[in-house]
Structure 1
Amino acid sequence: MPETRDSALRGDCANCFGLCCVALPFAKSADFAVNKSSGEPCRNLQEDFRCGIHTRLRPSGFQGCTVYDCFGAGQQVSQVTFGGVSWREAPETARQMYEVFPVVRQLHELLRYLTEALALPAARPLHAELRAALARVEELTGGTPDALEKLDVAPVRAEVNPLLLRTSELVRATAGGKPKSRRGADLIGKRLRGAKLRGADLRGALLIAADLTGADLTLTDLIGADLRDADLSGADLTGALFLTQPQLNSARGNAATRLPDGFDRPTHWTP
């Protein structure tokens, strides 16, 4: 698996105490079949912390679960921060564990982006700064439960984001021409079939239910882009920047969709 898809930065449910199934709340909707409060175990969570309907989440009304990835925060909090002792074994730690989990999830997301940036040859002029930022975030991630519970992640993001922006500019400049900027654009439901978006800046763009069939998304910055129900059938995402598995899982696609190395083709996509 390439360095940018480090397995430590992807969820490992076998080494987690089902934290996303307990710590996070969700409301009854198209994504979740029931209401659940923070700190309340999902009704599908088994005693071994496994999901009882993992292979049938979508038909059972839990589509939201299939598009979530903790970026490895679950196993980090379970096995490192709390030393392998679960909230069932030590109920007095439950509240703090649930508070720490989303903090570490945000830190791991930053680690995921920084790790990817360091693997990009075009970003070599920034590698020293990126390595320093990576080390800083790793140090924070390894903090005590008390330190992590009190940590404000916003300033950390503010420190990392300019580096990721500069990385994006360096990489997208290799695409040639004048890359389009649609940062934060409202493209909900837009017909972008066959669009030439090579090297475009689509950071934070709303692409919900957009038709991107056959679109050229090579070297496109997709950090934070909302791809829910976007049709990526036949699209080319080779070299797409800061794309995550949850983004792909929330979209639609097919066997002709070209993905960057290291990504899994979602099982609900069409042949």
Structure 2
Amino acid sequence: MTVPEPTATALTGDCANCFGLCCVALPFTASADFAITKDAGKPCRNLDTEFRCGIHTRLRQQGFGGCTVYDCFGAGQQVSQVTYGGTSWRQAPQTAREMFEVFPVVRQLHELLRYLGEALRLAPTADLRALLAETEALAAGTPAELLALDVAAHRGRVNTLLLETSERVRAAVPGKKRDRRGADLIGARLAGSSLRGADLRGAYLIAADLSRADLRSADLIGADLRDAKLHGADLTDAFFLTQPQLNAAKGDAATKLPTGLTRPPHW
């Protein structure tokens, strides 16, 4: 049986069909990213009665930059409209705690679906397709099933196949490829560097200068790009790169992006 890949729409946050779950379920601490401290399960002071953010268009100016680099990968609407059938935690307060615990689980599964879908486009295999179908089935589970799931173990299985995909794709890139997996490159001066086909999985690139760098066909899964300078960089065909990573970085009109990702407004 052929299993269709998840659509981009299904794996993109749809706030209009969510009960403000990221604004309630998740905790944050007063810092450069958040103007206040909020406990898990407590609604953010900016969340209105219609589950909308009252300062959505002014988040960065109001000190909530951390919100602008977050993406639930569609878990919000999945939990709100499917798992709980459109009944909000305000309508049924007895479900609130459970709903807030289910949301992060589904968010992780949807993130894995996003990576698996990309891997299938890059180098399709039967194993990838089977694991995608399994992950979709898990994400559609009941609250009890989701809370009983060993997400870390499932993520490990997915990561094995994603790593195999990365190695297969990068092997086809001509020339010597750099292995900087998990490297500490905080503040590194890499302007104009040739990083084509590089393994940058989990690399710490915080505030690194990657201006005009060649990042084509580089594996960027889990790379920390907070405040990284991507001005004029070429990210064409860079893979396992997500919108939140781009939102956390700095770039300009000359930055070349992979298909499916958008230029952040603050660039």
Q: TM-score, normalised by structure 1?
A: 0.95
Q: Deviations over 1:87-124 (max 9, x none)?
A: 0000000000000000000000000000001111xx13
Q: Quick one: which amino acid aligns to residue 86 of structure 2?
A: G
Aligned partners of 2:25 and 2:42 also within 8 Å: yes
Q: Quick one: which amino acid aligns to residue 140 of structure 1?
A: L
TM-fit CA distance, 1:178: 2.1
Of 117, 121, 138 in structure 2, the residue corresponding to residue 115 of structure 1 is 117
Partner of 1:83: 85
Q: Secondary structure at the residue paired with 1:80?
A: helix
TM-fit CA distance, 1:162: 1.0
CA distance in 2, matches of 1:118, 1:201: 19
Q: Quick one: which amino acid aligns to residue 192 of structure 2?
A: G
Partner of 1:63: 65
Partner of 1:236: 234
Partner of 2:15: 13
Aligned pairs for 1:193-232 within 5 A: 193-232=191-230
Aligned partners of 2:12 and 2:74 also within 8 Å: yes
CA distance in 1, matches of 2:89, 2:219: 39
CA distance in 1, matches of 2:164, 2:147: 30
Aligned partners of 2:6 and 2:113 also within 8 Å: no
Aligned partners of 1:235 and 1:258 also within 8 Å: yes
CA distance in 1, matches of 2:88, 2:262: 30
Aligned partners of 1:5 and 1:116 also within 8 Å: no
CA distance in 2, matches of 1:119, 1:55: 34
Partner of 1:46: 48
C-alpha distance 4-180 of structure 1, shift in aligned 2 (>3 A): farther
Q: Secondary structure at the residue paired with 1:96?
A: helix
Of 123, 130, 133 in structure 1, the residue corresponding to residue 131 of structure 2 is 133
Which aligned runs of 4 or more in structure 1 are off by greater than 4 angstroms? none
TM-fit CA distance, 1:4: 7.8
Q: How many residues align?
A: 263
Of 148, 164, 167 in structure 1, the residue corresponding to residue 165 of structure 2 is 167
Aligned partners of 1:223 and 1:241 also within 8 Å: yes
CA distance in 2, matches of 1:40, 1:226: 28
Q: Secondary structure at the residue paired with 2:164?
A: helix
Q: Secondary structure at the residue paired with 1:183?
A: coil
Partner of 1:187: 185
Q: Which segment is superposed worse, 197-206 or 168-177?
A: 168-177
Q: Runs of 5+ in structure 1 lacking a partner?
A: none
Q: Secondary structure at the residue paired with 2:172?
A: helix
Aligned partners of 2:215 and 2:236 also within 8 Å: yes
Q: Quick one: which amino acid aligns to residue 206 of structure 1?
A: Y
For the pair 1:26 / 2:13, whether they are aligned, the reply is no
Partner of 2:76: 74
Q: Quick one: which amino acid aligns to residue 220 of structure 1?
A: A
Q: Runs of 5+ in structure 2 lacking a partner?
A: none
CA distance in 1, matches of 2:113, 2:72: 12
